[in-house]
Amino acid sequence: MLPTARTLAELRKRELWADIVERWIGPPNKPFMRKRKDLFGCIDIVCLDGLPGVLGIQATSDSGGNVSARAQKIREECPAVRDWLAAGNRLQVWGWSKHRVSEKSVRWSPRIVTITLDDLGEFHTHVPERRKPYRKHKLKPGDGLAAFAKDVGKQRRKRKAKPGQRELVNLSEGESA
């Protein structure tokens, strides 16, 4: 059973209203191309637990420091978390691990880490610089395909020949590149 399903089962066992809000993105007929998308990048399940606001839960396993890594990711990489918490909602990370109860039986139990506004330090967003286009065309909106082809042709003629190649010559204008 996956951590999300285990969390949902535990919440329903406690008779709380809960549902999954993460979704799969990509073509349905190609499962290898699909990706999971969480609500605001960090919430798998929302729950109405009788307290003011909505409880958002990130479900994971508790092996290998997953709970700490998820909590750190939420603190550093999810800008919507600050608004989520400021609106009176709550956020928790549930990490599931096995605990031996007796010699033959094992019980799953969650480690719950609550994230508050005090946990969030200064938040700086990183906006990547826009990539420059490979070629700059001197075209204006409304220019047709013929103008585009003519502009591309000029750029090709202006390229310098590599060593061992002969230069391109434009016979109509009589100039060499």
Question: 84: alpha, beta or left, given left = phi > 0 and alpha = psi -120 to 50?
Answer: alpha
Strand boundaries in the chain, DSSP class E:
17-20, 23-25, 35-37, 45-48, 55-61, 90-100, 106-115, 169-170, 175-176
Describe the chain by its helix, strand, coil percentages, rounded to 5. Answer: 30, 25, 45
Average pLDDT, the chain: 77
The pLDDT of residue 165: 60
How far is residue 9's CA from residue 124's CA, in Å, rounded to a whole number? 36
Q: Which two tokens stand for residue 99?
A: 């605990």
- 0.85 exceeded by pTM: no
How far is residue 138's CA from residue 60's CA, in Å, rounded to a whole number? 52
**Which residue's structure tokens are 């094992």?**
106
Q: What does DSSP say about strands 90-100 and 106-115: parallel, antiparallel, or unpaired? A: antiparallel
Domain range list for the chain = 3-119, 145-176
pLDDT tens, position by position, 3-61: 888 889 988 988 889 888 888 788 878 877 778 888 888 899 999 988 889 999 999 88
Which residues have a Cβ under 8 Å from the Cβ of 5 and sit 6 or more positions away?
none
The dihedral over CA atoms of 25, 28, 30, 34, expressed in degrees to the nearest 10, equals: 10
The pLDDT of residue 56: 93
How far is residue 42's CA from residue 120's CA, in Å, rounded to a whole number? 14
